[in-house]
Amino acid sequence: MNKKVNTKALFENIVHGIFLILGLITVGGVLLITIYLIISGIPAIKEIGLFDFLFGQKWASTAAEPSFGILPFILTSIYGTAGAIVIGVPVGFFTAVYLAKIAPKKVKVVVESAVSLLAGIPSVVYGLVGMYVLVPGIRVLFNIPDGASLLAAIVVLSVMILPSIINVSLTSLEAVPSEYEDASLALGATPIETYFKVSVPAAKSGIAAAVVLGVGRAIGEAMAVMMVSGNAANMPSLFQSVRFLTTAVASEMSYSSGLQRQALFSIALVLFVFIMLINATLNFLLKRDKER
Amino acid sequence: MKKTLAIALGLALSIAALSGCSEEQAQQTEASSQSSSAGKSVTGTVATDGSTSMESVIGALGEYFMHENEGVTFTYNPTGSGSGITAVSEGRCDIGLSSRALKDEEKASGLEETVLAYDGIAIIVNPENAVADLSVEQIAQIYKGEITNWSEVGGADSDIVLIGREAGSGTRDGFESITGTEDLCKYRQELTSTGDVITTVSQNPNAIGYASLSAVEDTVKALTVDGVEPTEATIKDGTYKVQRPFVFVTKADTKLTPATQAFFDYATSADAAEIITNAGVVPAN
């Protein structure tokens, strides 16, 4: 009897230990990446100078007299993400409200599965379609010499962030207690009034979290924007070819050497800091949501 | 669910990494034990690392060499000319592959180059483009932004869209050094692969780009340069101006392993000429 209890306890302990180790692998991965990025990102910043690096307007990494200013990349990433949010959030938000409150069940099933499918499409496919359809389309539509531009990247990113925005908003809208809505309807408000004046305010932290998640997805995307944005290191402008923080790292990494390579790690570090800030915001919003 | 997935992925990765290490070690020990046994048919490993442009030619040579010498393991790591040169100087591979001639400082650091073949860089435009010939001078002016409209070189009245490769690419380095446009090119797009350049040019009637001749397809039109068509013959006799060497990089003070030496001798001999030609570039020997 006693022995049996002991074996059981031992088994439990072993299982706990295994789970702990598995959990630590994730933590270890994050720590390893963080430490590696900081160690390999700092030297170039030191050599170039933090101010020149962050606010320099010229990137010419392989020139005879190289210059490593990443302001064009930072601004492009910010503008591109902002643009994607401006287009993607209204579309995603209203879709979520429709799905959560108004849509008939059959429509909801169809749209929801389409949204999940959209989330599952690899980013290289977005890029490919963008390259063959969107880029020539923009060139013809706006009568400009070349369609690979910030605008093309914004359009691709807005579509890519839709699933995250819709799914997270939908979940939080569905979590609004039906008593709130019933009360509003009983007081004589129309359904639409109820959805926008009761349900949406009640779900607002969840919707905010959805937006932040969209920002995170947009700022971290590399492959799709690399294929449609042209990758020239220009200061951002809607119809100009531009380079994002992510694509700056990805496009030059394979052939880079010396200070150029170190500077690419520094760009990755800057990107990492951006993502950390976004994650912190997300955690803050979700936590506030839980406490309420 | 997400966490489990992440953990599972992490595990899979670490296992892959571990097994990768042990395999490499095994190969190394195999190579060192077998390199001592001299024979007619050599055994061991030949590790090459470098230019992605050389993939088709080096792949064909490696395959043939392994077929001829069954005990040899041939590896090719497509990392880019710069990485290949670094790898050979740090002893991480046997032969570095570079699609540009070595710089003086690289030669000073104890590296040696042997030209394997010549690669013509084709100047490509959209098939709809009426322009068929440009001089090297005109190409340079176009890429420097001094000529910005196709009508200035005999084409339609539309802006020229400059398509190029990313900084560090061997093709870009080759193109810019041949045309004398280093650091001066006003690229509209900087793409990361030859395929992307060809696709983009084939999609845009105003575009001009450059790519390895061997990679050029029917979807784009290769221009003649100074009236010379880019063909193997014109590249080999030097009349086609936009061309660059494919180079084997070795360390001057390090003796190659028997297997590597055998591969090196074979690839630079006349016997390999046919395979090199089939891979779309012009053999040097």
Across all residues in chain A, what is the average pLDDT? 90
ipTM: 0.77
Chain B residues with CB inside 8 Å of A252's CB? 166-168
User: Is residue B209 a contact partner of residue B175, using CB atoms and an 8 Å limit?
Assistant: no
Mean pLDDT to the nearest integer, A250-276: 87
Q: Running DSSP on this structure, what letter comes out for residue B231?
A: -
Task: Clarify whether residues A38 and A78 are in a common domain.
Answer: no
pLDDT beyond 70 at A59: yes
Q: Looking at the 3D structure of chain B, how many domains does it have?
A: 2
> Which residue in chain B has the smallest CA separation from A229?
B189
Instruction: Confirm whether A112 is domain-assigned.
Output: yes
Chain A residues with CB inside 8 Å of B190's CB? 230-233, 241, 243, 251
Q: What is the CATH number of the domain that holds A125?
A: 1.10.3720.10
Task: Clarify whether residues A247 and A144 are in a common domain.
Answer: yes
Q: Looking at the 3D structure of chain A, how many domains does it have?
A: 2
Residues in a beta bridge with A268:
none
Q: What is the CATH number of the domain that holds B222?
A: 3.40.190.10
Give pLDDT tens digits for A165-213. Answer: 999 999 999 999 989 999 999 999 999 999 999 999 999 888 988 999 9
Name residues whose C-beta falls within 8 Å of residue A77's C-beta, 6 or more positions apart in sequence: A219, A244, A245, A246, A271, A274
Residues in a beta bridge with A67:
A60
Task: Clarify whether residues B60 and B143 are in a common domain.
Answer: no
Instruction: Confirm whether A60 is domain-assigned.
Output: no
Give pLDDT tens digits for B124-183. Answer: 999 999 999 999 999 999 999 999 999 999 888 999 999 999 887 778 877 888 888 888
Task: Clarify whether residues B236 and B152 are in a common domain.
Answer: yes
Alpha-carbon gap, residue A151 to A242, rounded angstroms? 10
Instruction: Confirm whether A135 is domain-assigned.
Output: yes
Mark yes or no for CB contact A231/B161 under 8 Å. Answer: no
Q: Which of A221, A216, A246, A217 is nearest to A231 (CA)?
A: A246
Q: Which of B179, B184, B284 is nearest to B237 (CA)?
A: B284
Can you give the pLDDT at residue B40? 54
Task: Clarify whether residues A29 and A95 are in a common domain.
Answer: no
Task: Clarify whether residues B104 and B143 are in a common domain.
Answer: no
Q: Which domain covers residue B137, as residue numbers? A: 119-243
Alpha-carbon gap, residue B222 to B121, rounded angstroms? 10
Q: Which of B149, B159, B189 to mutate to test the interface with A (most CBs of A within 10 A)?
A: B189
Task: Clarify whether residues B101 and B183 are in a common domain.
Answer: no
Can you give the pLDDT at residue B16? 46
Q: Which of B121, B112, B111 is nearest to B165 (CA)?
A: B121
Alpha-carbon gap, residue A176 to A199, rounded angstroms? 6
Q: Running DSSP on this structure, what letter comes out for residue B180?
A: T
- Chain A residues 106-135 within an 8 A CB cutoff of chain B: 131-132, 135
**Planar angle of CA A210, A216, A219, nearest 5 degrees:** 140
Q: Which domain covers residue A87, as residue numbers? A: 71-291
Which tokens go with B220? 């784009």
- Chain A residues 124-183 within an 8 A CB cutoff of chain B: 131-132, 135-136, 139, 145-148
Task: Clarify whether residues B123 and B218 are in a common domain.
Answer: yes
Reported confidence tier of residue A290, pLDDT bands at 50, 70, 90 = low
Mark yes or no for CB contact B203/A146 under 8 Å. Answer: no
Mark yes or no for CB contact A255/B168 under 8 Å. Answer: yes
The fraction of chain B above a pLDDT of 70, given in percent, is 86
Does the pTM of the predicted model rise above 0.80? Answer: no
Mark yes or no for CB contact B14/A25 under 8 Å. Answer: yes
User: Is residue B223 a contact partner of residue B124, using CB atoms and an 8 Å limit?
Assistant: yes
pLDDT beyond 70 at B13: no
Give pLDDT tens digits for B205-259. Answer: 999 999 988 788 889 999 999 999 988 788 878 789 888 888 999 998 888 888 9
- Chain A residues 18-57 within an 8 A CB cutoff of chain B: 22-23, 25-26, 29
How are beta strands B221-222 and B207-212 bridged, if at all? unpaired
Task: Clarify whether residues B24 and B88 are in a common domain.
Answer: yes
Measure A34 CA to nearest chain B CA, in Å: 16
